[in-house]
Chains A and B, each alone.
Chain A
């Protein structure tokens, strides 16, 4: 009996640490790194604030999280929670919103036609997904594919076309593409470190979303969906008084 109580207490402690410390810090780190680029000359930092379209994409993504059951807003902000719990839950949601916006910012080309093409495809995919049947697991898989594809397109394909240190064939292709499209496919060249930062940012973002699963207080075999639920006030009272 005592063993069960101790296990319960540890579970709630870990859950609280994850929900109230680790998750906000992860999402804020994504918000910091999502707009960071490294200049090709001199390696200076360039901070790009999230463009307006990424905020729209982040709203659509949060709606998708709610529809897919990854987030349960009613459990996060509720009358029976203490004001402190509600405040930190709202704060985490804000961090998640900006992390989502910056994750998009990280894989969107900075300017030109490619920026609008990528934005359009993101919008199209997220809008279509609003009307699809989703559970949290499928949603996460779909997000990994979405961000993974955008990452490869931007940081591997497009970056290699415009890299100043690329082979003559790459430079020729880049110049041809730019010429044929009358310069509309122009993309700024950043240092190779930018790709690594973006990869780390996306990995951290997906990790944050996956970690949400550890916040679940449902037994693993009964939960078909991954749901972030915070320790309830009743649970906290029971454990704190024990």
Chain B
């Protein structure tokens, strides 16, 4: 009986350890901190640092987009929170938007984050923030996609009259 207990516990322990190793090689964490964050995400106990998120939000509202992104990245180190990823994408949109032309590089990065936000949210992501003109991740994605596309509309002089969302 005792022997069986040793066998079963050995098998369970080593299977769990092997799963951890596979997970580490799949996620490739770069520091022990990332290992801990990844473990929190896997266990479902991961939470965004609300203080840093709010600090990023206030910077975003003051149009300090890079600083805001920096704060949000610290608030969500695992990049697993759909809401934070949406705001990061939005900051790329606002920073990259131009009356004459958009910054393609920033729009592409924003598009990546918008896709990530869509992927992370189990249902269509909607953000109720009166400061924003775009409230869903799908709309933001479309806006960013249209911003990177080339069309004859780009040479329309009336384009300068459009407004940033």
- Residues on A lying within 8 angstroms of B by beta carbon are 12-13, 16-17, 20-21, 24-25, 28, 31-32, 35, 39, 44-47, 49, 84-85, 87-88, 91-92, 95, 231, 236, 239-240
Contacts and interface: CB of A to CB of B under 8 A. Distances in A.
B11 A88 contact: yes
DSSP class of A's interface residues: helix, strand, loop or mixed? helix
Interface string B18-46: 10010011001111000000000000000
Contacts of A16: 3, 6-7
Interface string B112-123: 000000000000
Contacts of B100: none
B14 A95 contact: yes
A161 to B, nearest CB: 26
B101 interface: no
B3 A44 contact: no
25 contacts: A12-B3, A16-B7, A20-B10, A21-B6, A21-B9, A21-B10, A21-B13, A21-B14, A25-B14, A28-B18, A32-B21, A44-B31, A45-B29, A45-B30, A45-B31, A46-B28, A49-B25, A84-B4, A84-B7, A84-B8, A84-B11, A88-B7, A95-B14, A236-B3, A240-B2
A239 B30 CA distance: 48
Nearest to B25: A47
